[in-house]
Amino acid sequence: MNMKRIIILFIAAFTILGAGQSTFAQELLSLNQTFVLHPAPREHDSYSLYYNILVRSPGLIRVRLDLENVSPDLAGEVKFLTVSLRQLDNEVEVRRVEFGTDGIVLEYGVDAYELDRTDGEYRIVVSNWSQLHTAVARLVAWYPGEDDSERPWPYIPGHPRAEDLMF
């Protein structure tokens, strides 16, 4: 009887102590933007939008791009859009996906070593390579990070802020 009581007390103490050590779930941030991708200014150049994200813990960066409208209409399957993920400090492209009219998902896993090396700073780049087509698209991204709502979205180098543009 005494041994049974000790075992029950040990299990109860272990359960109570273990509950205090529970870890919090990883906070996933999301980016949800609808935008217009204008035609490329010239051949071998693109019209691009940049979204800077800050990854705070190891995990999966997942980016989805869906086309809502393309004008003029596409004739067949034309690959004219790209989505890429770059390390912000040296602009190294870590993943790139090309596509046409269908939506696409880009996924990239960040481990602790890479997170330490890059300080968690990444850039999502969405580009239109067509000189003929204008696209309305929706970008949704999920990543382990923290809210940074003070930054203007998107970052367009050498152009006015997104709030100043009329689409």
pLDDT tens across 11-51, in order? 766 666 554 443 344 567 788 889 999 999 988 889 999 99
Alpha-carbon distances, residue 123 vs 18, 49, 83, 95, 153 (angstroms):
39, 10, 10, 11, 12
Task: Quote the pLDDT of residue 94.
Answer: 87
Parse the chain into domains and list their residue ranges: 26-164
Angle made by CA atoms 71, 76, 79, in degrees to the nearest 5: 75
Tokens at residue 147, please?
Answer: 């809210």
Residue with the bigger pLDDT between 85 and 150: it is 85
How much of the chain is helix, strand and coil, in % rounded to 5?
15, 45, 40
Does residue 160 register a pLDDT over 60? Answer: no
Task: Inform me whether the pLDDT recorded for 149 exceeds 70.
Answer: no
Looking at CATH, the fold of the domain delimited by 26-164 is given as: Jelly Rolls (2.60.120)
Could you tell me the pTM of the whole model? 0.69
**Token pair of 137 as six digits:** 């698209």
Looking at residue 5, what is its pLDDT? 76
Q: Where are the alpha helices (DSSP H) in the chain?
A: 2-20, 112-118
DSSP annotation of 44 reads T
